[in-house]
Every structure is written in structure tokens, then in C-alpha cells.
Amino acid sequence: MIIFRYLAREVMVSMVAVSGVLLLIIMSGRFVKYLAEAAAGKLDPDVLFAIMGFRLPGFLELILPLGLFIAFLLAYGRMYMDSEMTVLSACGMSQRRLVAYSMLPAGIVAIFVALLSLWISPVGISKATAILENQKHRSELEAMSPARFQTSGSGNSVTYAEKLVNDHKEMQKVFMAEMGSSAEEAGAPSDSGLAVLTAKTGEQVTDPDTGQRYLKLNDGYRFNGNPGEAQYEIVKFDSYLQLLENDTNPNKENVKADSLPTITLMRSDSTEDIAALHWRFSLPVLVIVVTLLAVPLSKTNPRQGRYVQMIPAILLYIIYLVSLNGARGAVEDGNVSPWLSIWAVHVGALAMALLLLFWPYVRLQLKAGRMKEGAKHA
């Protein structure tokens, strides 16, 4: 029991440290991406941490198996380097018992990963997706920043407002420049390339009959013409309505398989949902298989160095995970059954793990057989 607690503590401490570093790296990259979108006015800065919090379970379900795999390599590799494994072996610690002791912490991690992949992560992805969808459908004024030029989604117009008041519902000292088809819609001649509008105030209004959104400008001027030419048109207006870009189908729900509850995936016949379902069940299995792989791969010769086995072991893990991703893609395309793709990859990795575990015994048996044959011939 003392040996088990020692081994489990070494592995779990290493796993927490490795997983923490990997989580920090991945979340930092994703946070920088969202931060750039917030700086561009596409996201509200207030929702950044909520999105990252909801995406955390999805990151953990992929990071924990890799963290556990590296933890076994580091913890057991150090014990081989310090001859602790040699002492344990001399005291009766067999490879079979080492695997049994390793499977207990791996089982705990596998249960936690199962909770993440089957229940917690889909809820988090669903809520994060809902926040992102709400950000896409928020008003143009909510996406604007005061005293900053911002380009429209089509890239044909530029809008500037010196101030945003009344909780981002009203603009003051507005400037708009539109080119191409947007300029023609603004009232410029068909051969014109530019329409410029200035106004004291502006606000977004919605037509109650059609649901179309408009930018209403008050007390301003509209300048239409071609840059560099003397012929242009100036129009003074008290009120001006500018049609805003609407989604092609605002009522369409973009529901991904990863955000659906597991029970919903079980009832679905869609190939994408079937692939997502088998993927969720395969993640806990991934934890068990990588543990069986890590035990023989962690065996290190003190003369070779502590990190000699790390590179081929991590490459093997990458091949394993990439193969799983490829198998999921094949199932989503409807080209193959999940039992012949996703689970075939797991069976192949499990076969390799068992081969690595039992190869020393097989080699000893083969060597003993050759020695007996040689003794007979002698």
C-alpha cells in the first residue's frame, strides 16, 4: 500500500503540473484570438472570460490524457534513472503489479474525463456557442467603439462616431464613407465611387413590419461624387435612413454535434452525431490505453539519459490521436462504420501496448527455447 501511494502521488503530481502548463498554453492562444476579435469590435469584452470558462471542460478532456501519459513517462522515467525501479523489482515488484498500480490513478482520470466528455463539455460548448451567436446578432452600435473608424462586414463602408451615449444606443458626431454598391444604395450616381455622410446624431431603428434594421441619422449632409472630379452633389437632411446588413437567415440555428447532449446523439441517425457520440465514449478509453502504453515506454536505461524515450513516446501518442481524428472524420463523411474506424484505432493501439508489455517475456521464452534446442544438438 505504501508503494502504491508513492507511485500514485508521483504520477498525479506530475500530471497536474503538466496538464496545468498545457492548459495555460492552449487557453492563452485561444484567449488572444478572442481578445483580437474584441479589439476589432466583433466581441463584447465583458463576455471573454465567460466564453473561456465554458470552453475549459472541452480543453481539459483532451489535455488530461496527454498530461497523464507524459506524467507516467516523467515519474517512472525518473525512478528508473534513480534506480528506484531496480530496488522495487528486487523487492518483488513485477511488471504486472506495476501495471495494476498504474491503472488505479488512470481509472480515476478516465472517470473524470468521461464526466467531462459525456456531460460537462457539451453543456459548456453549447453555452459558449450561444454567447458567440448572440454577439453576431447584437446591434451595430453595440459592436462599435467611440472615436474609432470601423469597417463593415462587407468592407464597403467605414463608420466613425465621436461619442456613444445612452448605453451605446445613440451616436454623436457621425461620419460614414461608402464605396461601390453601398454608395449607390446611399444615393450616389451609378458611376460614382464614393458617398460621404455626416450627421450630428445617429441611432439604430427596426421596421416593425419587415424586421429590417436601419441606421437613422439626424441633421446632417450627404456628399455624392467621384473622387478627383468637380461634379458632386450635396444634400442636407433632417432624417436619413441607411439599411444595415442583415443575416441571410437570422432564424437559422447553427447547432454543432459537439454541443448536443449525449442522450440526443444516441437518438440521432446523422453521421456527424454518430461520430461525435463514439468520440465522446472513446476519450475515457484513450486514458486507459495510453496508460498501458506509458508503462513499458517509460522504462529507461540510466546510461542513455532520462529523456531518450520521451520523443518516440510522444510521437506515438500524436499518431494515435491523429488517427482517431481521421477515423472520426471518415465516420462523419459516412465512408465507414465507427466500429471499423474509431474503435479499430483503439484496438490497434491496445495491441501495441500489450505487445510492448509482454515483449520482454516473449523474448525470454524465445531465448530459452533456442538455448534448449542448442543443448539438444550439443
Please say which residue of 192, 213, 243 terminates a domain: 243
Give the Cβ contact number of residue 154 at 10 Å: 10
Q: Is the pLDDT of residue 139 over 70?
A: no
pLDDT at 114: 97
Residues 343, 287 share a domain: yes
pLDDT at 143: 64
pLDDT at 191: 47
Q: How far apart are CA 271 and CA 172, in angstroms?
A: 52
Please say which residue of 177, 212, 243 terminates a domain: 243
Residues 157, 121 share a domain: no
H helices present in 148-235, as ranges: 181-185
In 3D, which of 141, 139, 179 has the Cα closest to residue 160?
141
Q: DSSP string spanning 56-96?
A: HHHHHHHHHHHHHHHHHHHHHHHHHHTTHHHHHHHTT--HH
In a domain, 248, yes or no: no
Residues 51, 194 share a domain: no
Identify the weakest region by mean pLDDT among 56-65, 111-120, 152-161, 177-186. Answer: 177-186
Residues 296, 233 share a domain: no
Single-letter amino acid code for the residue at 207 = D
Residues 211, 65 share a domain: no
Residues 122, 6 share a domain: yes
Residues 302, 210 share a domain: no
Please say which residue of 215, 243, 271 terminates a domain: 243
Q: Is the pLDDT of residue 157 over 90?
A: no
In a domain, 157, yes or no: yes
Q: Is the pLDDT of residue 109 over 80?
A: yes
- Domain span at residue 50 reads 2-136+259-377
Q: How far apart are CA 358 and CA 356, in angstroms?
A: 6
Counting the structural domains of the chain, the total is 2
In a domain, 254, yes or no: no
In a domain, 250, yes or no: no
pLDDT at 363: 73
| Percentage with pLDDT > 90 across the chain | 48
In a domain, 145, yes or no: no
pLDDT at 303: 74
Residues 217, 76 share a domain: no
DSSP 120: I
Residues 212, 235 share a domain: yes
Residues 120, 7 share a domain: yes
Question: Taken in order 332, 336, 337, 341, is the CA torsion positive or negative?
Answer: negative
**β-bridge mates for residue 204, sequence order:** 215
Residues 119, 7 share a domain: yes
Cα(first)–Cα(last) distance of the chain, in Å?
Answer: 49
pLDDT at 13: 95
In a domain, 206, yes or no: yes
pTM (predicted TM-score): 0.76
pLDDT in tens, 336-376: 999 999 999 999 999 999 999 988 777 777 776 677 776 76
Model confidence at 135, in pLDDT bands (50, 70, 90)?
confident
Residues 225, 276 share a domain: no
In a domain, 141, yes or no: no
In a domain, 69, yes or no: yes
pLDDT in tens, 241-277: 877 765 444 434 435 889 999 999 999 999 999 999 9
Q: Is the pLDDT of residue 88 over 90?
A: no
- Grid cell 445617429 is found at 202
